[in-house]
Amino acid sequence: MREMARKTARDFAEKRLKPNAAAWDEAEEIPGEFYREAAELGFLGMMVPDEFGGLGLDYASYAGAMEELARGAAAFQVGLTVHNSLVCGAILAAGNGDQKKRCLPKLASGEWIGAYCLSEPGAGTDAGSLKTAAVPAGDSYVLNGTKAWVTNGGFASLFLVFVSTDPARGNKGISCLLVERSIPGIHIGKKEKKLGIRASDTREVRFENCRVPKSALVGEENHGFKVAMQVLDRGRVAIAAQSVGIARAAFDEAVAYAQGREQFGRPIAQFQMIQMKIARMAMEIDAAKLLVDRAAGLLSAGLPCTKEASMAKLFASQTANRAAFDAIQIHGGNGYTREFPVERLYRDARITEIYEGTSEIQHLIIAREVLGSSKKPSSA
Ligand code: CAA
C-alpha cells in the first residue's frame, strides 16, 4: 500500500505537477482542475477511512505521497497537506460522529477543500494568544475576528477555526469550530504576494458577526488548543516530507547540471568542491528521510511523536534550504535566473522553516521533550 501511494503520487507529480510548476509560480495560481484530478486519485482523503469515502491510508503512506507531490510542486502540495493533515486530521481525532458523517465524505471527494485558521495578525508563534472571539448566543456562537496566512483561504468550503471562548483563560479558553463557507459574515481578503510557493492560495479571513451553530464545536469547549497542537504534531511530519521533496528536486537538478555543464574542459561534476556539495546533499536528504520515516511510523502505530515530529520538521526543512542553496551555487549564474527550476526551489524551500512552527519553536519543543517539563505534551 505504501509503495502504491508513493508511486501514484510520483506519476501524478511527474506528469501533471512538475511540467506546470514554473507557469503556476509566474501566474501565482493553480487552476482548479488540478485539485479535481488529485481528488479523483484519492489525494484529498488520504487518511480518511473508507466508510467516509477516503483511502484509509496510514501516516507513513501519506507522508511518502506528500514527499513525491512536493517534489513536483510544493505550492500545490501544501494545500493538500493542510486539507489532509490539519483539517481532516482534526475531525478524525476530535470530531463527533455527526461531524465526521457530514464533513469527511465532502472533504475526501474534493467537493469541499479545507482550511486551517489558527494564526492571526497578532498571534503567530504565540498561537495561544489568539483573539478571534466566539460569544455564545442561544444555540450559536457569534464570531468576530481576523485569521491570517490561511492556506486554501480563497476557495475553501470548510474552515477549521480556533476561537477564544473564554478570553480570561488564555490558551485554556480556546475552542475549535467547523465553519462552513456558506455562513454569512465570512470575508475573504486579498491573496498574499509571497516569496515562494507563490501559487498556493494564502489569504486573510475575517469573521464579522458570523453565527455558527454550537453543533460545530469540535471536541469540548475551551479544549481547542490541544486539538490545534495535536494536529500540528501530525502536520509537521507532512511538512518535513514536503521539505524532503523540495530537497530531492533541488538535488536532482544539481546532479544533472553538474554532469552536463563543462568548465576548464570537463564536466563540473569532476571537481571535488562540487562533489563535496553533492555528497552532503545526498547524505542530508537520506538522514531527513529517515527522520520523517521514524515520525510517520510512530504516527502509523498510534504512538506519541511530538519530539520526533519536531526533529523531522527541523532537520528536513534545514536540509531543503541547504540543498536549494547549494543547487543554485552549482548552477552558478544560471541558477539565479528563472530559466532554471532551482531558483523557484530556493524560494519554495524558505517557508518550510517558518510555517507549522518556526525552526526556533521546533528547537524549543525538542529541548522541552528532552529535558522534561511540567507540561509534557502527549500526542497519542
Ligand atoms: N500535543 C498535545 N498537547 C499539547 C501539545 C502537543 N504537541 N503541545 C502543547 N500541548 C498542551 C500542553 O500540554 C498544555 O496543556 P496543559 O496546560 O493542560 O498542560 C497546553 O497545550 C498549552 O501548552 P503550552 O503551555 O506549551 O503552550 P504555549 O502557549 O507555551 O505554546 C508553542 C507552545 C509550542 C509555542 C505553541 O504555541 C506552538 O506550537 N506555536 C507555533 C504555532 C504554529 O505552529 N502555527 C502554525 C500555523 S498553521 C500553518 O502554518 C499551516 C500552513 O499554512 C501550512
350, 322 contact by CB (below 8 A): no
Average pLDDT on 202-230 reads 98
Distance in angstroms (rounded) separating the CA atoms of residues 146 and 132: 6
Distance in angstroms (rounded) separating the CA atoms of residues 196 and 187: 25
Ligand 1 centroid to 12 CA: how many Å?
A: 34
Residue 98's Cβ-count burial label (10 Å; 0-12, 13-18, 19+) is exposed
Instruction: Just list the catalytic residues.
Output: 356
User: Per-residue pLDDT for 374 more than 70?
Assistant: no
Mutate to test the pocket of ligand 1, among 194, 229, 233, 236 (most ligand atoms within 8 A of CB): 229
Mutate to test the pocket of ligand 1, among 375, 376, 378, 379 (most ligand atoms within 8 A of CB): 375
3-class secondary structure, 141: strand
Ligand 1 centroid to 157 CA: how many Å?
A: 26
142, 211 contact by CB (below 8 A): yes
Distance in angstroms (rounded) separating the CA atoms of residues 50 and 89: 15
> Going by C-beta distance under 8 Å and a sequence separation of 6 or more, which residues neighbour residue 323?
246, 247, 250, 251, 254, 281, 284, 285, 349
pLDDT of residue 2: 87
**Per-residue CA distances from 173 to 88, 114, 209, 280 (Å):** 23, 24, 20, 46
How many CB atoms lie under 10 A from the CB of residue 53?
18
Q: Which of 203, 208, 204 is nearest to 186 (CA)?
A: 208
Distance in angstroms (rounded) separating the CA atoms of residues 191 and 188: 9
> pLDDT digit string (tens) for 305-348?
999 999 999 999 999 999 999 999 999 999 999 999 999 999 99
In Å, how far from its chain's centre is CA 278? 27
User: Which strand (E) or helix (H) includes residue 294?
Assistant: helix 272-300
pLDDT of residue 380: 34
> pLDDT digit string (tens) for 131-159?
999 999 999 999 999 999 999 999 999 99
Q: Evaluate the CA torsion angle 151, 156, 160, 165 in order and state its sign.
A: positive
Q: How confident is the model at residue 375 (pLDDT cuts 50, 70, 90)?
A: low
Residue 288's Cβ-count burial label (10 Å; 0-12, 13-18, 19+) is buried
User: Per-residue pLDDT for 379 more than 50?
Assistant: no
Q: Is the shortest distance between the CB of 379 and ligand 1 below 6 Å?
A: yes
> pLDDT digit string (tens) for 28-79?
999 999 999 999 999 999 999 999 999 999 999 999 999 999 999 999 999 9
> pLDDT digit string (tens) for 277-312?
999 999 999 999 999 999 999 999 999 999 999 999
Write out the three cell numbers for 272: 571535488
pLDDT of residue 378: 46
Q: Is the shortest distance between the CB of 213 and ligand 1 below 6 Å?
A: no
Across 192-238, the runs of DSSP E, i.e. the strands, are: 202-213, 217-218
User: Per-residue pLDDT for 376 more than 90?
Assistant: no
How many CB atoms lie under 10 A from the CB of residue 292?
30
> pLDDT digit string (tens) for 236-275?
999 999 999 999 999 999 999 999 999 999 999 999 999 9
Q: Is the shortest distance between the CB of 310 and ligand 1 below 6 Å?
A: no
**Residue type for 10, please?**
R
Q: What is the CA radius of gyration of the chain?
A: 21
Paired with 142 in beta bridges are 135, 211
Ligand 1 centroid to 226 CA: how many Å?
A: 7
pLDDT of residue 234: 94
Q: What is the residue-wise DSSP string for 92-130?
A: HHH--HHHHHHHHHHHHHTSS-EEEE--BTTBSS-GGG-
Q: Is the shortest distance between the CB of 225 and ligand 1 below 6 Å?
A: yes
Average pLDDT along the chain:
97
Which residue, by CA, sits nearest to atom 49 of ligand 1? 356
- The answer for 248, left when phi > 0, alpha when psi is -120 to 50, beta otherwise, is alpha
Which residue, by CA, sits nearest to atom 27 of ligand 1? 128
Mutate to test the pocket of ligand 1, among 132, 160, 226 (most ligand atoms within 8 A of CB): 226
pLDDT of residue 1: 79
Ligand 1 atom closest to Cα of 126? 37
Q: Is the shortest distance between the CB of 91 and ligand 1 below 6 Å?
A: no
Q: Is the shortest distance between the CB of 233 and ligand 1 below 6 Å?
A: yes
3-class secondary structure, 133: strand
Distance in angstroms (rounded) separating the CA atoms of residues 207 and 120: 12
Q: Is the shortest distance between the CB of 132 and ligand 1 below 6 Å?
A: no
pLDDT of residue 30: 98
Ligand 1 atom closest to Cα of 354? 50
3-class secondary structure, 337: coil
User: Per-residue pLDDT for 377 more than 80?
Assistant: no
